[in-house]
């Protein structure tokens, strides 16, 4: 009987802690009450974050016409064309979609810019930022992967576990 009462009190304490934590989180992020978004400076970027979260989970399919337009822009740039000639291939094309609010209040989605990832044999990667409307490459960022240690994570943890087992002070 005594164990049941202790268990019941522990469950009640945990439930109160959860309720207090959630109410504090709601108060911090103004989830419960939504004030006027123009007056509240902390919620000004909330719509941008929400649209970014929505678009992150959707797959944007690129048409063949858009892909050939991206390839033509890459071939017209001297630095990007040398990368393509040196064995880099286009692996990913991600259009940057932005929303434009017209004067009458209608919303138009435009893919003005794109991010293209070029890869060479799975080792080196290059990120190319493209302005699709004006037809030029904005920036090229080269990334290299350097492998310093060939030990896998499981080997590392198993060796640490063996060292811990060898130590007499750890096991009593």
**pLDDT, tens digit, for every residue of 75-102?**
999 999 999 998 899 988 988 888 888 8
| Burial track 116-141 (b if 16+ CB lie within 10 A, e otherwise) | bbbbeeeebbbebebebeeeebeebe
107 contacts 101 by C-beta, under 8 angstroms: yes
d(CA 78, CA 88): 14
Q: Averaged over 61-79, what is the pLDDT?
A: 92
Q: Please report the pLDDT score of residue 171 as a whole number.
A: 42
List the structure tokens of 159. 């060796």
Q: Please report the pLDDT score of residue 131 as a whole number.
A: 93
| pLDDT 10s digits, 21-63 | 877 666 666 554 544 444 444 444 445 555 555 555 566 788 8
Q: Averaged over 66-76, what is the pLDDT?
A: 93
How would residue 109 be classed by pLDDT, with cut points 50, 70 and 90?
A: confident
Strands laid side by side in the 107-120 sheet: 89-101, 107-120, 124-131, 136-143
Give the 3-state secondary structure of the chain.
CHHHHHHHHHHHHHHHHHHHHHHHHHHHCCCCCCCCCCCCHHHCCHHHHHHHHHHHCCCCCCCHHHHHHHHHHHHHCHHHHHHHHCCCEEEEEEEEEEEEECCCCCEEEEEEEEEEEEEECCCEEEEEEEECCCCEEEEEEEECCCCCCCCCHHHHHHHHHHHHHHCCCCCC
User: How far from 131 is each of 42, 85, 107, 114, 151, CA to CA, in Å?
Assistant: 31, 22, 21, 7, 42
How would residue 149 be classed by pLDDT, with cut points 50, 70 and 90?
A: low
Least confident of 4-8, 105-109, 132-136, 156-160: 156-160
53 compared with 144, residue with greater pLDDT = 144
Q: Please report the pLDDT score of residue 172 as a whole number.
A: 36
Q: Could you give the percent of the chain with pLDDT greater than 90? A: 26
Which domains are delineated in the chain?
A: 2-47 (no CATH), 70-143 (3.10.450)
């Amino acid at each position: 009987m005594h164990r049941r009462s202790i268990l019941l009190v522990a469950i009640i304490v945990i439930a109160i802690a959860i309720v207090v934590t959630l109410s504090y989180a709601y108060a911090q992020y103004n989830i419960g009450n939504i004030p006027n978004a123009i007056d509240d400076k902390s919620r000004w970027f909330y719509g941008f974050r929400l649209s970014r979260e929505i678009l992150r989970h959707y797959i944007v399919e690129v048409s063949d016409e858009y892909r050939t337009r991206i390839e033509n822009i890459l071939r017209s740039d001297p630095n990007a064309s040398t990368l393509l000639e040196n064995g880099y291939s286009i692996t990913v094309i991600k259009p940057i979609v932005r929303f434009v609010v017209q004067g009458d209040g209608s919303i138009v989605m435009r893919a003005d810019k794109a991010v293209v990832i070029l890869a060479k044999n799975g080792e080196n990667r290059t990120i190319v930022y493209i302005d699709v409307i004006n037809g030029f490459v904005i920036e090229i960022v080269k990334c290299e992967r350097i492998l310093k240690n060939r030990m896998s994570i499981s080997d590392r943890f198993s060796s640490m576990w063996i060292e811990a087992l060898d130590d007499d002070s750890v096991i009593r």
